Amino acid sequence: MKFTELGLSKPVTDALAAKGYETPTPIQAQAIPALLQGRDLLGIAQTGTGKTAAFTLPSIDHLVASNKRALPRQCRMLVLAPTRELAAQIADNARGYSKFAKLSVVTVFGGTSVHKNKVDLSKGCDILVATPGRLLDLIDEGHLSLSAVEIFVLDEADQMMDLGFIHALKRVVKILPRARQSLFFSATMPSAIRDLSSQFIKDPVEVKVTPVATTAERVEQQVIFVNQTEKQALLTMALRSLKIDRALIFTRTKHGADRVVKLLAANDVASNAIHGNKSQPQRERALGLFRSGEVPILVATDIAARGIDVSGVSHVFNFELPNVPEQYVHRIGRTARAGADGMAISFCADDEKTYLRDIEKLTRQKIAIRSLPENFLAEAAEIARTRKPVVMSRDEQNGRSGRAQQGGGRGGRSQGGASSEGEPRRFFPAKKKFSAKPAGSGGGRPGGNRGGGQRSAASAGIGRSR
């Protein structure tokens, strides 16, 4: 089947031809005819299967056919995405697909100029791609109305739930027109998402191109059991020894991502981090260097990684296993795109084995176990010895010690025991004695009173820490 056989208009097929696209992906082939009929849709597909084109192409046709003009401070199509990167990616694709239809596309999300957002919206737009937070801020300030929305799209619905956007979504839906076309797309479809979707979409067509939580078939998956304190050395060795085109490394926390980047740099391995604490210019620069291959190693958190659509990712490293098993599916879906092969390598500490079991249960497959490299301990010691001094921020240090305290210590360290450097660590300072001076006690000096008689601090109600 060709795109020209799906009933799309000539401006859209011309835009696809200009990009060199002729054959639709399975989700596009199933979704586009239903959406052209005006049906609501619930789409389940893995990342990288063409979801964006599946909802953008027929929506462009609908907007052109309705022959309406966007009014000031209004939009005709609203697309909500959980992250800035995904919103920017959707907008870029929408601009490419609609260039012959001459539709206007605007983005609003955190980290960008609020003033520019206001100026862009003041003219009105055909397609608005936004993240929930910035969208509601602009609505509350009176710079945007959703009363003219004809099409509402929620992409990565499961991630929206994970990020706690449920209340924001309900607010948005309440101010949308009842007469609209609604589309839900997600890589996974837990029961909570299905229940949520029933509140927003009516009699939808359900499109499912892969089983729920099925991992990409062309991804070779491996897991290595290793102590938490030895993961950094193992990662450094892997990045040096494997033939890597581009590698995406996942951590569970922002400060963990920064720490990995600093320690890699201390061993002369260049990388960048992308997460919610980075400014938009920093995130765009890191992605640009990753796409170009100038810095082919990117360390990311799960949230920031949504929207990273980069071809040529040969390896995905789970530096820390996700505590939500569905995130594993999203992570490894960043490799083996467009028919290419890929490898996903997970580092599993003792305290993460429960996460591994949850992942294998969800994906219904056992992940192959890979042994530690030969002479691992000697090479790890050499990596540590040759590592340049690294200054860690307080947040990175706190994140590291905080991980050690959970569940009696991570990586085999008992609570209150030695640190990874073998030095004794006191997680909390010794409790200091202090008692507030009781009302009416006056300004007496420690150890005495006005009468000159000696009283204990306890009897006087006064204590001073030393």
Q: How far is it, in rounded angstroms, from Cα 348 to Cα 152?
A: 40
Cα 167 to the center of its chain, rounded Å: 19
Q: 89: phi > 0 → left, psi -120 to 50 → alpha, else beta; which?
A: alpha
pLDDT at 362: 87
Q: How far is it, in rounded angstroms, from Cα 275 to Cα 178?
A: 36
- How far CA 311 is from CA of 236, 264, 338, 339, in Å, comes to 23, 23, 8, 11
pLDDT at 275: 87
> pLDDT category, 453, cuts 50, 70, 90?
very low
Whether the per-residue pLDDT at 445 is higher than 80: the answer is no
Q: How far is it, in rounded angstroms, from Cα 102 to Cα 342?
A: 38
Whether the per-residue pLDDT at 429 is higher than 80: the answer is no
pLDDT tens for each residue of 127-159: 999 999 999 999 999 999 999 999 999 988 877
pLDDT at 333: 81
pLDDT tens for each residue of 345-363: 999 999 999 999 999 998 8
Q: Tell me the three-class secondary structure of the chain, residue by residue.
A: CCHHHCCCCHHHHHHHHHHCCCCCCHHHHHHHHHHHCCCCEEEECCCCCCHHHHHHHHHHHHHHHHCCCCCCCEEEEEEECCCHHHHHHHHHHHHHHCCCCCCCEEEECCCCCHHHHHHHHHCCEEEEEECHHHHHHHHHCCCCECCCCCEEEECCHHHHHHCCCHHHHHHHHHCCCCCCEEEEEECCCCHHHHHHHHHHCCCCEEEECCCCCCCCCCEEEEEEECCHHHHHHHHHHHHHHCCCCCEEEECCCHHHHHHHHHHHHHCCCCCEEECCCCCHHHHHHHHHHHHHCCCCEEEECHHHHCCCCCCCCCEEEECCCCCCHHHHHHHHCCCCCCCCCEEEEEEECHHHHHHHHHHHHHHCCCCEECCCCCCHHHHHHHHHHHCCCCCCCHHHHHHHHHHHHHHHCCCCCCCCCECCCCCECCCCCCCCCCCCCCCCCCCCCCCCCCCCCCCCHHHHCCCCCC
**Which position has the token pair 């590291």?**
400
Q: What average pLDDT score do residues 204-226 get?
A: 78
Q: Which two tokens stand for residue 85?
A: 């990167």
Pair 26, 209: CB distance under 8 Å: yes
Q: How far is it, in rounded angstroms, from Cα 130 to Cα 80?
A: 5
pLDDT at 305: 63
Taking the alpha carbons at both ends of the chain, their separation in whole angstroms is 81
The lowest-confidence range among 30-34, 223-227, 298-302, 441-445 is 441-445
pLDDT at 149: 96
The lowest-confidence range among 52-61, 240-249, 270-279, 398-407 is 398-407
pLDDT at 457: 39
The chain-wide mean pLDDT, for the chain, equals 82
Q: Which two tokens stand for residue 321?
A: 């296993």
pLDDT at 135: 96
Greatest CA span in the chain, whole angstroms? 102
If one compares 433 and 54, the residue with the highest pLDDT of the two is 54
> pLDDT category, 161, cuts 50, 70, 90?
confident
> pLDDT category, 406, cuts 50, 70, 90?
very low
The CA-based angle 137-61-180, given to 5 degrees, is 50
Contacts of 389 (CB under 8 A, 6+ apart): 266
Amino acid at 173: V
